Structure 1
Amino acid sequence: MVTEAVTPQRTKWAPVAALGLAMLVVTSEMTIPAVTLPGIGADLAVSPSATAWVLLAYALPMAALAIPAGRWADGADVRAAFALSMTGVAVASVLVGLAPTFWLVVAGRLLQGAAGALIVAVYMPIITTSVLAAQRGRAIGFVITIMTVGAMAGVPLGGLVADLWGWRAVFLVKLPVVAAVLWVGLRTITRIPGRGLPRPGAALLREAVLLGGAVAVLLLAFEEVDGNPLVAAALVVGAIGLATWWSRLAASRPVLGLVRTPAFGITLLSLLAVTFTGGLVAFLLPYYVSNVLHAGPDVTGVALLFFVGAMAPLSAAAGALADRFGNRVLAVAGSAVSLVAMSLMLTLDESSGLGDMAWRLVVLGIGAALFNPAINASMLAAAPAGSEGVVGGAGMTVRTIAMTVAPAASALAWTVAGGGIAGFRSGIVMITIAVALGLLVQLVPVRRP
């Protein structure tokens, strides 16, 4: 049941800082553990293909539980829910770091993903209970800046920790940060009177199984597209069946009603389409550098630093601009700049070098910096008070699906075109079309809050 949200009398930045660090912990767990896979395989005697579950076991519950967790968070005390989520991250990290067997590593990662979904669920509620409406873009931009800067340092720092103290230390080294974030959160996040941690009822559990299962099966389907297309097709059919079953539940009506609201639905569709730029970062650029330029992964890493380096410092400023000029203006501008950047990628060829990639990635980073805070604030503005958890869950689900589908679609475009520069450009065209769609839907005239 949707309840009226707490309206802050003034902006409190300490909870926003705690939220930013919490979101940094959550998002970094998607990528940093990649450096642990060889060590885990050697230490626990598992194959390289099996170690992929260290990453997948985290991503699946993060995506699958985001919306049900958001519905639960909308009825919970946001401070207590934040404390529960950070405690869950700490317990799961200890379990993974001390696990004597591989199955316990996977179990710990599943628990980490579930705790991460709770943090995502309280993301928007913390923003609305801590920040004045006129400053939400700035707050979201600040959170994105913390997450982006952390992403720049996270993977190399994780590699250094793994090299010095082994793979287990990668999961344990963040515990002091988690403890500090938990302490700040308990002291500064506004408590919502009359709420606690509601016990999930049968309806919510049923929703989590069906909707979460649909999202999880869909993500697994795209993991199988390249190697087992028939299995992938069967999984897609299964995902559609579970989603249809969920849509017939009474619990699905508030979520479906929100998505059907033109202002919110258009914003969500734009987020899905523009996030397809992840296909460039996750697939096309590494393969272009390797197969076309015949260079190593170090070149890809340096090139991507220009993307992240442009995005990080501009995100907070873009959030402030969104507060001043409007979320739609900044979201449209970000989509347009991203479209220009993807079009420029089409001019790369066999003779291009690091500098040619770098400045184009700077343009793409500027587009992402303009787009992300504004689109998040747009989703929040388009939703009724008291549904902030669902907003955050829907946004995370859509982002995760896009970041899974885009590399798979890019790989398919690359393969169909025969790889090389033709494959690269084929994938770029596909992503450019998606970003253009994301821009066009933002221009649809609908009544916006």
Structure 2
Amino acid sequence: MSNPQSNLFFNTGICEKNVSNRTYINLYKGLKNLIPAPAYLVTGNKVYKYEFRDVDTRQRCIILKGYLPKGISIFDLYNSISDYTEPVERVTVIFRIVNLLIKASKIFYTEFGHFPPLILNSIYIEENTNSICFISPEIIDLINSSREEEYKKLVEYCIKPEHKEKITNQDDLAVSICRFIYLFLSKNRYSTSAPEIDIRCFYKFLPRDISNIIWYGITKNKVSLDRLEQTVSKTLNLLNSFKNKNKNIVYSNPPLIRRPFFSRSRHRIKTFISFRRGLLIVIILLVGFGVYLITDFIKSSKGIIDITGLPPEKIVEIYIKAIDELDVEVLETLFYKRAGRKLINEVSTIYVVSRLGQIYSKKPPESPSMGEEVYNIWDPVTIENVSITRIQDSSQPVFKISYIKKIETETGVEKYSEIDTLHLAKIKNKWRIVKIERTIKEINK
């Protein structure tokens, strides 16, 4: 149903003294674009539609002309709930409002196919007539955009961001109602960043069944609207019995894990993980990069090279160079698993024996002359007349290498003619020597 336009007006609370001139003008224009905007009054089993027909200013504040909601806004009620000094009376008022709010939301759903969002300053309640008015969420959202962040968090505490315009699911409405109850019960002890605790921590006379429903609603985001409505009605009857002294007040304590100490501890852990996650990722990346640099440095200091992507011919060249320089680490890199273990042991032995012979020799090595590199002082193995032939082209190429090897010892120079046949295979993007066949012939001594 609709009523004819009236001369009433609704004060948005947006005044020149509270916002900048630019914000004031933008909000005025924005509200103009939303006009006409609806407001719905639910009374009895009927919904009456009213409209804000125009935007104007009064005493340098923006007003919406055409309708004035009766009663008090839920947000103002939240701020004044402490005026009820008796705890039982205060909680009774809260559950009476919740009971009325659930019924009005269901009537609204029957009319429009969705539930109104529970934004605190968009809902007005008049208890004398059991009436509730829902102001257009588009209007309220624009008005709230000029408010401080903490204010917006408070008035939108009961809804998810996707439910700013409407709520389509009964369970989502039930969760919003649970958050609504929790917000009012935790008055003066509530913070938008504080962890949730059992509502019996605020009022120990609340029964266990409503406490459990509210707990699961605010922590698990899942609760049945029908069950919530039944439990709210049952709780309201119990509170009225307490108030009228028909029943003695019974007190109960919540489970330990729902009490402030445990909730705060759990909240701190979650907050630490949430806010430190980026820092932890950076630390992990830095540690990983540091390990990479250290590993690369160690490999470089040992002469180990990266053979990833190198062609087979290059692997053979590196092999010859490693034999010439007695570089065991490089040879271990070139061979797959234990394929070259015998050769590597031989090279290691030559290196150790030659080095010991040089150290304990009666004639120490000559000092380097000016300009001569130190690493040329001692060279126990010399490779000459190297010839490389590729004897098989396939997925596992084979190379035949012939060369003359000279080994310097205490008694002189030993000379060998050696033929190495290398079988290569590609393993994880690296060509590795998987098999070696050697023919060695001593030339002279």
TM class by shorter chain equals under 0.3
More strand by share: 2
Identify, as 1 or 2, the structure richer in helix. 1
| Rg larger for | 2
**Could you state the TM-score of these two structures normalised by the residue count of structure 2?**
0.22
TM-score normalised by structure 1 residue count:
0.22
Q: State the structure with bigger RCO (CA 8 A, min sep 6), 1 or 2.
A: 1
